[in-house]
Amino acid sequence: MKYPLDCEENFSKTFLFWLTRFIRSKITSLSNRQVKDKDRLAQLIKQLIIGFDSIVELKKVIKEVRNIGINSIHVYYVPLEKLYTFLNSYGAASMKEIDEELLSDFLASQTSNLSDATKKNYRIAIITFFSYIDKQNEQSNGNAYRYGIELKNWGGLSGKSGQKLPSYMHKEEVNRFIKAIDTYVFGEKIADRNRLIIKIILYTGIRVGEALNIEIKDLVKDGDTYIIQVRGKGNKPRIVMIKESIIKTNLDNWLNMRVCNQNLLFCNQKGNILTQAYISRIVEKILLSVSIRKEKNGAHMLRHTFATLLYQNSKDLILVQESLGHADINTSRIYTHFDKDRLKKTTDIF
């Protein structure tokens, strides 16, 4: 039997529902050679089928399952319990708010002091969990919501080398990329849509997921600029701005041909929401067309580029934090590493 993605009255209960069903599926697939009390295990599985009202109840069952003899279940449960706590602290309201970027943030913040082997276990647990949901959920229209979580670009392993600085484009590369956006050959029906979404991400620094969820009503013209309301992590709203001249032609052309469901600004040719993977692919193609190669050539690199150039031009870390929608200013602080004017002072100390 399949269930809607957001099948309970709130996010906490919904995540607990999916976690409980996933744990049950893992218990029945893991080796049971060491099981000491098969009758008790059957009773515990029945409890998992019924479900729980709190994570505390589930945790007690997991502990007993381990004691009975299925020791490896904690490899899946522990990372997902911590993810449950992490997402609740963010104030998530829907399972659809979860994406690769949010999961990478979780891994970066929660596994920094762990061994590489344990980090790999966290990654595997998360990928397996969302793969299970991909196969077991069903929307009202009969389609399934697909996460497609891969976490290929998560750089948390080999922690001894320290945190990597994000990839970004220098000003000269940005100029080449901007020209390439308008000259790269797309299909006639998708050209203005693709150029519009890439420009909005580059010029505002919003996350790819935030751009994909923009609705028509979120775009408001104010003089010679557009104000865009986006919903960030935890469904927290903020506004960003972009000059009308940058997007006017692409926006007008796209609005004349778009046929999207649920009032989305961007959609595929079936009217459904675009995927983050698709946006990253077209960004990478444009980058390569003008010989720009970075360690990470996806769409999220545009956000790092925006933040880096914003800090270099403004030297205002609060502005960077507010523009990117970071809850903690320490998350924004990494962009100070690219302040060449400040670093040049170190050359004169003697």
Is 170 part of the annotated catalytic residue set? no
Annotated active-site residue 122? The verdict is no
Among 226, 303, 304, 311, the active-site one is 303
Choose the catalytic residue: 335, 337, 340, 345. 335
Closest Cα to residue 10, out of 54, 42, 40? 54
- Residues 112 and 157: their CA atoms lie apart, in Å, by 9
Which pLDDT belongs to residue 186? 93
Catalytic residue among 119, 193, 195, 233: 233
Q: Which CATH superfamily is domain 171-340 in?
A: Intergrase catalytic core (1.10.443.10)
Task: Look up 337 and say whether it is catalytic.
Answer: no
Q: Catalytic: which of 21, 176, 326, 333?
A: 326
Nearest alpha carbon to residue 17 among 27, 7, 2: 7
Residue ranges of domains in the chain: 11-161, 171-340
233 is catalytic: yes
- Work out the percent of the chain whose per-residue pLDDT is above 70: 93
Q: Which tens digits make up the pLDDT trace of 259-314?
A: 998 889 999 988 988 888 889 899 999 999 999 988 777 888 999 999 999 988 88
* Most distant pair of Cα atoms in the chain: their distance: 76
66 catalytic residue (yes or no): no
Give yes or no: 146 in active site: no
Q: Could you give the percent of the chain with pLDDT greater than 90? A: 51
For the whole prediction, is pTM greater than 0.95?
no
Residue 50 has pLDDT above 50, yes or no: yes
DSSP 37: -
Active-site residue, from 207, 226, 231, 304 = 207
Tell me what the mean pLDDT of segment 206-233 comes to.
91
Give the pLDDT score at 162.
46
